[in-house]
């Protein structure tokens, strides 16, 4: 897993803030937002489907200091290059420079733009220091956690969960990542949620994992939504939906609303322009939404072996039909599935890199960890870390804490 540190995020943020802003700087509050695991429901949130996700006990933290210049927000990202950057709060909300890449500076400008577009007040003169332990480029939605964190830090007013999610999602759109709202919703809500991409709503679940745990293993291949196939899959989904509107069902709200039976009838009749690749994309969405429905039942029944089987099927559909995985991720998944105690494994997140997610018996974690070190990570040492298998614990949602 990238970014291993000896210090806590809080100590790194304090140290970086003092170095950047001087000895007179100190946090008046902390904005905290967790990363997430996507348990089941890959690439269906922006297609109006349901997703099972959980916030983890890893978070982005922003030390909020005052005393800066009016109309300017200064910030430093302690875990990256450490260069100070700034953004103004009196500007065109749609002007964001991303030619040099997407990082904390662009996300800060994205959040400011999203707030300005909503005519929301923005705190002025802030001096922020950012750190965290949500791995970057790892499929745990570090970008969503950062945007949620920034929204909380920049707003002087209380915002509803819906507002925070919407602003954070809009910020990512403004820097070129056309994400759904599941990541932000999981970060805001905390714990495990069932997210409904059709309504944008979610409700919290309290699953009893019994003898099982969720764990992630790093493939060693970095993931970035903006430069991956993610935007193309979003566009393909829109194209498929438009064709279905034109030739089969003009009232269908989203691909995620298609039942298995409806989709079978559409496929049988055929639609002009719905080529093989688009059929595969819709097939993934329809079957993935069905897997989430069955996953809900498995959680309610405490049947984690069934849930693991659904996870594995989800990964195979994501790799084969949606073509959003990576050969090394699939190799890692195959290794995991061959190990005793593993109930299911799959690629997770936007795809084309990042981690494999596994559901394993807690008692087997050490054996799985050792087998990975001797297997996948001996063949591909770029992904190896001090801990090749990270057991994840579900954690609380985003909040602001007084210093």
Question: For residue 324, what are its two tokens?
Answer: 């959003």
pLDDT for 226 equals 55
Per-domain boundaries in the chain? 9-205+396-402, 212-392
By the 8 A CB rule, do 130 and 105 touch?
no
Helices marked H in 155-220: 161-174, 182-189
Which pLDDT score, from 0 to 100, does residue 14 have? 96
Q: Are strands 72-77 and 127-132 parallel, antiparallel or unpaired?
A: parallel
**Gap between the Cα atoms of 177 and 169, Å rounded:** 9
Among residues 7, 6, 32, the alpha carbon closest in space to that of 397 is found at: 32
Q: How much is the pLDDT for 383?
A: 66
What is the enclosing helix (H) or strand (E) of 135?
Answer: none
Residue 363 burial by Cβ neighbours in a 10 Å radius (0-12, 13-18, 19+): exposed
Pairing relationship of beta strands 72-77 and 212-218 according to DSSP bridges: unpaired
Give me the CATH code for the 9-205+396-402 domain, please.
3.30.230.10
Read off φ and ψ for residue 59, nearest 5 degrees.
-145, 160
212-392: CATH topology: Alpha-Beta Plaits (3.30.70)
pLDDT in tens, the chain (403 residues): 344 455 899 999 999 999 999 999 999 999 999 999 999 999 999 999 999 999 999 999 999 999 999 999 999 999 887 789 999 998 877 777 766 678 999 999 999 999 999 999 999 899 999 999 987 767 788 999 999 999 999 999 999 999 999 999 999 999 988 898 999 999 999 999 999 999 999 999 999 999 999 999 988 887 666 557 888 999 999 999 999 999 999 999 999 999 999 999 999 999 999 999 999 999 999 999 999 999 999 999 999 999 999 999 999 999 999 999 999 999 999 999 999 999 999 998 787 888 899 999 999 999 999 999 999 999 988 766 666 788 999 999 999 999 8
pLDDT at 396: 96
pLDDT at position 149 is 98
- Judge whether 131 and 10 are in contact, CB under 8 Å: yes
Task: Give me the pLDDT at residue 3, please.
Answer: 45
Structure tokens at 64: 């909020």
């Amino acid at each position: 897993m990238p970014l291993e540190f000896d210090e806590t995020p809080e100590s790194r943020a304090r140290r970086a803030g003092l170095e950047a802003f001087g000895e007179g700087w100190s946090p008046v509050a902390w904005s905290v937002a967790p990363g997430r695991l996507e348990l089941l429901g890959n690439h269906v949130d922006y297609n109006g489907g349901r997703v099972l996700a959980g916030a983890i006990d890893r978070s982005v933290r922003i030390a909020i200091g005052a005393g800066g210049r009016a109309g300017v927000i200064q910030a430093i990202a302690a875990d990256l290059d450490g260069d100070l950057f700034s953004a103004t709060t009196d500007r065109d909300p749609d002007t964001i420079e991303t030619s040099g890449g997407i990082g904390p500076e662009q996300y800060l400008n994205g959040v400011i733009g999203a707030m300005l577009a909503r005519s929301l007040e923005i705190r002025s003169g802030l001096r922020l220091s950012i750190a965290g332990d949500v791995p970057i480029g790892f499929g745990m939605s570090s970008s969503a956690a950062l945007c949620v964190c920034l929204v909380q830090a920049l707003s002087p007013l209380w915002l509803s969960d819906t507002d925070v999610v919407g602003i954070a999602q809009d910020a990512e759109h403004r820097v070129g990542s056309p994400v759904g709202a599941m990541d932000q919703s999981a970060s805001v809500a905390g714990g495990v949620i069932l997210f409904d991409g059709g309504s944008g709503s979610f409700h919290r679940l309290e699953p009893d994992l019994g003898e099982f745990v969720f764990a992630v293993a790093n493939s060693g291949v970095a993931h970035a939504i903006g430069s991956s196939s993610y935007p193309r899959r979003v566009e393909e989904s829109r194209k498929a939906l438009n064709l279905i509107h034109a030739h089969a069902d003009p009232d269908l709200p989203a691909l995620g609303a298609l039942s298995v039976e409806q989709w079978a009838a559409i496929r049988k009749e055929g639609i002009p322009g719905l080529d093989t690749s688009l059929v595969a994309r819709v097939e993934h969405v329809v079957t993935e939404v069905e897997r989430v429905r069955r996953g809900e039942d498995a959680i309610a029944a405490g049947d984690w072996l069934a849930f693991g089987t659904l996870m594995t099927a989800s990964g195979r559909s994501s790799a084969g039909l949606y073509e959003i995985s990576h050969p090394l991720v699939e190799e890692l998944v195959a290794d995991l599935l061959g190990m005793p105690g593993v109930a299911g494994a799959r690629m997770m997140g936007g795809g084309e890199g990042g981690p494999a997610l596994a559901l394993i018996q807690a008692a087997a974690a050490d054996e799985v960890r050792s087998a990975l070190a001797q297997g996948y990570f001996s063949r591909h040492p770029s992904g190896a870390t001090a801990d090749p298998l990270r057991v994840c614990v579900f954690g609380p949602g985003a909040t602001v804490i007084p210093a």
